[in-house]
Amino acid sequence: MKASQFFVSTLKEAPADAEVVSHKLMLRAGLIRKLGAGIYNYMPMGLRVIRKVEAIVREEMNRAGAVECAMPVVQPAELWEETGRFEAMGPELLRIQDRHGRQFVIQPTSEEVVTDIARQELRSYKQLPRNFYQIQTKFRDERRPRFGLMRGREFIMKDAYSFDRDREGAQKSYQAMAQAYRRIFDRFGLRYRAVAADSGAIGGDLSEEFQVIAATGEDAIVYCPTSDYAANMEKAESAPPARPRPAATQPMALTPTPGKATCADVAELLGVPLSTTVKSLVLATDPIGEDGTPAGAQLWLLLLRGDHDMNEVKVSKVPGLDQGFRFATQAEIEAHFGCQPGYLGPLRLRKPVRIVADREVAVMADWICGANQPDHHLTGVNWGRDLPEPDLVADLRNVVAGDPSPDGKGVLAIERGIEVGHVFYLGTKYSRAMDATFLNEDGKPAHFEMGCYGIGVSRLPAAAIEQNHDERGIIWPDAIAPFTVVLCPIGMDRSEAVRAAAEKLHGELLDARVDAILDDRGERPGAMFADWELIGVPHRVVLSERGLKEGQVEYQHRRDTAATKVPLEQVFSYVK
């Protein structure tokens, strides 16, 4: 590829709305361009990265025995009604209508469609195990799309679904995927950790997240440096005797408050004066009941914090609730409580958490809640007014650094990560809801045992950048770089010798299947180097008339502080 024929479009400054380094650098390096909130064009430079990620994923999925298919982006609502998720998914699910008024959804994931395929195609135990995967566009109407491709609304996911005749088989399929994921993430060349995650209503230990280690990650991950123990914060435990935790209070039933509450009611309920400042506000409703069906229970969870920009809450360890929460903006909350827009602004919290219900709800004790923000995990949360007032940093965590590891092999440490993959044992949740069966050896129908396995294909490049960058720009691992090598000829337009050598080397590299780009744009050296350092191409070869006279070029890895003189014929050993 020649740069003059490609599309290089770098920016000196990132647009003001880009908050994190990966988002800024992806915009500056011309990898993506924003089309709308959480919706991006993959520009030619960015698409090359995505395609490389896909190729690695595809190779390893095929190697692990999964078979590729593609399920429609637009899916009939009826299928989603069979599992109850048409309602239960809440506003994250984008629903659309066709000209006949029929309802469809844009796929945020594809359990329904793949289970429909299975119930039609997989009739006998002899056809099992089977694992279908796709690399496909997803849409989730995220409450707060942000950080560019990191949390987009439209994004690309690899999603795989395994079908087995029994639990034992499903566990094998799960382990095969967990292994394939390790190979995939090893090949990306990133530092990552596989951590135990909550398996929600299904229970058991068969849920792991693959987290790319990065200080800016949204998730807190807990691990033991001297053993294999690693879990996300929701799942993490420490061995007894743990540090004393704030005592959980007695749960109490909440009396519903009919009609709309005023701001004064909210303040009263929160036990705060009306005159202070709130920085964040989160409200969640739970549209599904214990058995996973829409029960109509409306649990409104209101969290206010005076000192942090908390923006998302997760509730776990309560069957069915993990998928069902709906997050609301401050404006929605104000509308719900019948306040003027902006009215909740001046409230400030004395006590960290209060939970409000607008109908009577079952009392549940000892919840764990956490936010996608540092140090925002609550344990022992109960319904009621007399919640403990824990220290915002240390005591809100499930575990803290220095706690004994549950395996007894050391103490726990905490670092931050970006969730780039997730493997999950599903059991018969979807096959039962959709009555998807096959005929077993004894001729009787049985429900498929399933697993699902996702990789955030378009999130991955953002995670790679969060982990690998410096003040000059991106530093790609070779495996996913848009180009592996850039050839920078100095004075190519003036010197025939430089032109000839650059074109020859370029051709040889391409013949050897090295992904090389020749910068023939005629930029001044400074501008040319700055562009490729920003774009993050890992290997650079500079050709100049003076060097070529001595048969030498200058090689520099993106992480090197200085260039090395290298005989022309040895370039290959540096870039391969």
Binding site for ligand ATP (CB under 6 A): 109, 140, 142, 151-152, 155, 157, 419-422, 454, 456, 458-459
Q: In whole angstroms, what is the distance from residue 540 CA to residue 267 CA?
A: 61
The least distance separating ligand ATP from the CB of residue 143, rounded to whole angstroms, comes to: 10
Given the complex with ligand ATP, which of 142 and 375 has the nearer CB atom? 142
Given the complex with ligand ATP, which of 459 and 539 has the nearer CB atom? 459
The 3-state DSSP class for residue 50 equals helix
449 binds, among ligand ATP, Mg ion, none (CB under 5 to 8 A by kind): none
The least distance separating Mg ion from the CB of residue 341, rounded to whole angstroms, comes to: 27
The least distance separating Mg ion from the CB of residue 142, rounded to whole angstroms, comes to: 7
The least distance separating Mg ion from the CB of residue 151, rounded to whole angstroms, comes to: 8
Given the complex with ligand ATP, which of 284 and 349 has the nearer CB atom? 284
Given the complex with ligand ATP, which of 213 and 420 has the nearer CB atom? 420
Q: In whole angstroms, what is the distance from residue 534 CA to residue 523 CA?
A: 15
420 binds, among ligand ATP, Mg ion, none (CB under 5 to 8 A by kind): ligand ATP
Given the complex with ligand ATP, which of 142 and 286 has the nearer CB atom? 142
In eight-state DSSP terms, residue 479 is G
Tokens of residue 482, six digits:
């848009």
Closest residue to Mg ion, based on beta-carbon distance: 422
539 binds, among Mg ion, ligand ATP, none (CB under 5 to 8 A by kind): none
Q: What's the burial of 439, exposed, middle or buried (CB within 10 Å: 0-12/13-18/19+)? A: middle
**HSE-up of residue 543 (Cα within 13 Å, Cβ side):** 29
Positions touching Mg ion (CB under 5 A) are 419, 422
Amino acid identity for residue 65 in this structure: G
Given the complex with Mg ion, which of 163 and 327 has the nearer CB atom? 327
142 binds, among Mg ion, ligand ATP, none (CB under 5 to 8 A by kind): ligand ATP
Q: What's the burial of 298, exposed, middle or buried (CB within 10 Å: 0-12/13-18/19+)? A: middle
Q: In whole angstroms, what is the distance from residue 145 CA to residue 35 CA?
A: 13
157 binds, among Mg ion, ligand ATP, none (CB under 5 to 8 A by kind): ligand ATP
Query: Contact at 8 Å (CB) between 347 and 303?
Result: no
Given the complex with ligand ATP, which of 75 and 109 has the nearer CB atom? 109
* DSSP one-letter string for 252-277: -PPPP--SPPPHHHHHHHHT--TTS-
The least distance separating Mg ion from the CB of residue 100, rounded to whole angstroms, comes to: 32
Q: In whole angstroms, what is the distance from residue 126 CA to residue 123 CA?
A: 8
The 3-state DSSP class for residue 242 equals coil
334 binds, among Mg ion, ligand ATP, none (CB under 5 to 8 A by kind): none
The least distance separating ligand ATP from the CB of residue 203, rounded to whole angstroms, comes to: 18
Given the complex with ligand ATP, which of 180 and 254 has the nearer CB atom? 180
Closest residue to ligand ATP, based on beta-carbon distance: 456
152 binds, among Mg ion, ligand ATP, none (CB under 5 to 8 A by kind): ligand ATP
Nearest to 30 by CA among 541, 457, 478, 537: 537
List Cβ neighbours of 164 (8 Å cut-off, separation of 6 or more).
Answer: 128, 129, 170, 172, 173, 448, 449, 450, 451
Given the complex with ligand ATP, which of 84 and 456 has the nearer CB atom? 456
Given the complex with ligand ATP, which of 371 and 575 has the nearer CB atom? 371
How far the first Cα of the chain sits from its last, in Å, is 17
Backbone angles phi and psi of 398, in degrees to 5: -65, -50
The least distance separating ligand ATP from the CB of residue 214, rounded to whole angstroms, comes to: 13
377 binds, among Mg ion, ligand ATP, none (CB under 5 to 8 A by kind): none
**HSE-up of residue 286 (Cα within 13 Å, Cβ side):** 28
Q: In whole angstroms, what is the distance from residue 529 CA to residue 560 CA?
A: 14
* DSSP one-letter string for 504-564: HHHHHHHHTT--EEE--S---HHHHHHHHHHHT-SEEEEE-HHHHHTTEEEEEETT-SS-E
The least distance separating Mg ion from the CB of residue 200, rounded to whole angstroms, comes to: 10
158 binds, among Mg ion, ligand ATP, none (CB under 5 to 8 A by kind): none
Q: In whole angstroms, what is the distance from residue 412 CA to residue 37 CA?
A: 38
Given the complex with Mg ion, which of 419 and 520 has the nearer CB atom? 419
456 binds, among ligand ATP, Mg ion, none (CB under 5 to 8 A by kind): ligand ATP
The least distance separating ligand ATP from the CB of residue 142, rounded to whole angstroms, comes to: 5
155 binds, among Mg ion, ligand ATP, none (CB under 5 to 8 A by kind): ligand ATP
Nearest to 427 by CA among 107, 88, 163, 85: 163
The least distance separating Mg ion from the CB of residue 211, rounded to whole angstroms, comes to: 10
The least distance separating Mg ion from the CB of residue 497, rounded to whole angstroms, comes to: 55
